[in-house]
């Protein structure tokens, strides 16, 4: 099983939209995929199932040894795509620690998912590189950083990547897939310029070639609890995420 974290320094950059639609792309390629909501706000769950607020999930497993991963998996209309909601907030969500830390329980979580024959585990993390997000990055195989194509946000990206590089001390196997530009508005010079600026300040391999546009379809899809690609007129959006999936698979190597 490949575990990919979707992480960002701040919220509002399209992280959950990226996670949902990328998971759908992996699943439609035939790979058994589980999308884990590790953001206490439960954005993934609220986007895909309105029952997520009352379902047990990620945080329940981390804190309660009696909870089983198999009980947390929520199927979707696609046989190869499942969801694990965030669950109920607790000490872990609040940044508190347990004797010996929560890392052993988190490793058990991914191990049990692998036992369920999951091939791809995508984890939508909370914004910032601390608490549960830091722990997820300590056990993940790879991380992708969404960044909206706006001038103010671009300036903080190098520091985010520096922090991720330091994370490799705790997790030497962590592959930084790179930054993916989101919410691109090609009709706005400022948005285009922000994208060009990011590519100018980072090594080419640190910026994904695929760009995710700002599109009203994402809002409509979220309102219906669906990935954007299955909506009417969603084929162009689906093609974008399939292209991004191809990029990721090429970088990981082991999936190809």
User: Which CATH number goes with the domain that contains 58?
Assistant: 3.40.50.300
Query: Do the domain assignments include residue 241?
Result: yes
Q: What is the pLDDT of residues 142-173, one digit of tens each?
A: 999 999 998 877 877 888 888 898 888 889 99
The beta-strand segments (E) located in 16-170 are 33-38, 74-75, 81-84, 120-125, 142-148
Q: Round to whole Å and give the CA distance between 39 and 47.
A: 13
The CA angle 222-53-129, to the nearest 5 degrees, is 75
Domain-embedded: residue 195: no
Predicted TM-score (pTM) of the model is 0.91
Query: Quick count: other Cβ atoms within 10 Å of Cβ 41?
Result: 16
Mind listing the pLDDT tens digit for each residue in 51-90? Answer: 656 788 999 998 888 999 999 999 998 999 999 998 876 6
Count of domains in the chain?
1
Range of the domain at 238: 2-141+211-250
């Amino acid at each position: 099983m490949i575990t990919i974290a979707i992480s960002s320094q701040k919220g509002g950059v399209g992280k959950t939209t990226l996670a949902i639609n990328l998971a759908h792309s992996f699943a439609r390629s035939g790979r058994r995929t589980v999308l884990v909501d590790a953001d206490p706000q439960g954005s993934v769950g609220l986007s895909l199932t309105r029952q997520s607020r009352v379902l047990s999930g990620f945080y329940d497993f981390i804190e309660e040894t009696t909870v089983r991963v198999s009980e947390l998996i929520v199927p979707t209309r696609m046989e190869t795509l499942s969801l694990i909601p965030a669950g109920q907030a607790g000490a872990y969500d609040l940044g508190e620690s347990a004797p010996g830390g929560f890392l052993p329980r988190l490793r058990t979580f991914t191990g049990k998912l692998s036992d369920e024959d999951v091939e791809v585990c995508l984890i939508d993390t909370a914004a910032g590189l601390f608490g549960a997000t830091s722990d997820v990055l300590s056990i993940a195989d790879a991380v992708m950083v969404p960044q909206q194509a706006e001038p103010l946000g671009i300036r903080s990206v190098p520091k985010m990547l520096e922090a991720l590089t330091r994370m490799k001390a705790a997790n030497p196997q962590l592959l930084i897939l790179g930054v993916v530009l989101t919410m691109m508005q090609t009709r706005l010079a400022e948005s285009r310029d922000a994208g060009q600026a990011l590519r100018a300040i980072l090594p080419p391999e640190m910026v994904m070639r695929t760009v995710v546009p700002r599109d009203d379809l994402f809002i409509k899809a979220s309102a219906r609890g669906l990935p954007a690609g299955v909506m009417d007129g969603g084929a162009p959006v689906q093609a974008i995420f399939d292209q991004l999936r191809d990029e990721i698979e090429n970088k990981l190597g082991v999936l190809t």
